[in-house]
Amino acid sequence: MVIAEILPAGVAVSEAFADDPAAFLFPEEAAAIARAAPGRRREFATTRLCARRALAELGRPPAPLLRGARGAPSWPAGVVGSMTHCEGYRAAAVARRGDFAALGIDAEPHQPLPAHVLEAIAVPAEQARHRVLSARVPQVCWDRVLFCAKEAVYKAWFPRTGLPLEFGEADIALRTDGSFTVRVRRRHPSPEHLTPLAYEGRWVATSALVAAAVAEPATAPSTATVPIRAADR
């Protein structure tokens, strides 16, 4: 597994490297994706199949998983989770809300970002660190890892807070050991307990994929650094 390697114990993960023809949708889900192209419907169904398999590990029965505000999936009561999909990969991670306050996962193709995208998503400090990392470990597409980490942070942040988060509001320091730290500094007014918010996360790269994950323990204060440890799987 890919994302399971970078998530802590207590998080259930399921993944697929191809769309499953047996993946089913509840009527409500099928209606939500009815106008999409066939490939998008298959991707949607397989990602939700992953989510249902992960939920089954928590003892939860199959249920519709609809999109809520800003497209974030709506999970059953008492559950936090995150989904991701990219070419050749679909995955979902879920946990009990009593154990984790938020989860965020993202996977991307292990390829450089298109031209000028890094400048659009990265603050100056991130761009400086990117130059150092690229010189030190050139076989990793660090710009893509950064983008992936920012997406994972957003997927943990938004369901937890209900607030938007721009790319430039999360300053991420990637490390070569597969970890990263995050400082969230919102430009717009927000509740004092949400500014700043610190996370720690993990990333992994294969020849085809990069993936990143953030998991916030339920007991961690919102202004404290949130530790992540690799799962013992």
User: How far, in Å, CA of 162 to CA of 41, rounded?
Assistant: 27
Residue 156 dihedral angles phi and psi, to the nearest 5°: -80, -40
Beta bridge partners of 89: 86
224 has pLDDT over 70: no
The whole-model pTM stands at: 0.90
Confidence band, pLDDT 50/70/90 cuts, at residue 231: very low
Using alpha carbons, select from 160, 148, 83 the residue that is nearest to residue 122: 148
The burial of 199, by beta-carbon neighbours within 10 Å (0-12 exposed, 13-18 middle, 19 or more buried), is given as buried
Q: pLDDT averaged over the chain?
A: 90
**Cis peptide leading into 124, omega within 30 of 0?**
no
The angle formed by the CA atoms of residues 112, 114 and 117, to the nearest 5 degrees, is: 105
pLDDT in tens, 25-63: 999 999 999 999 999 999 999 999 999 999 999 999 999
Which pLDDT value is given to residue 72? Answer: 87
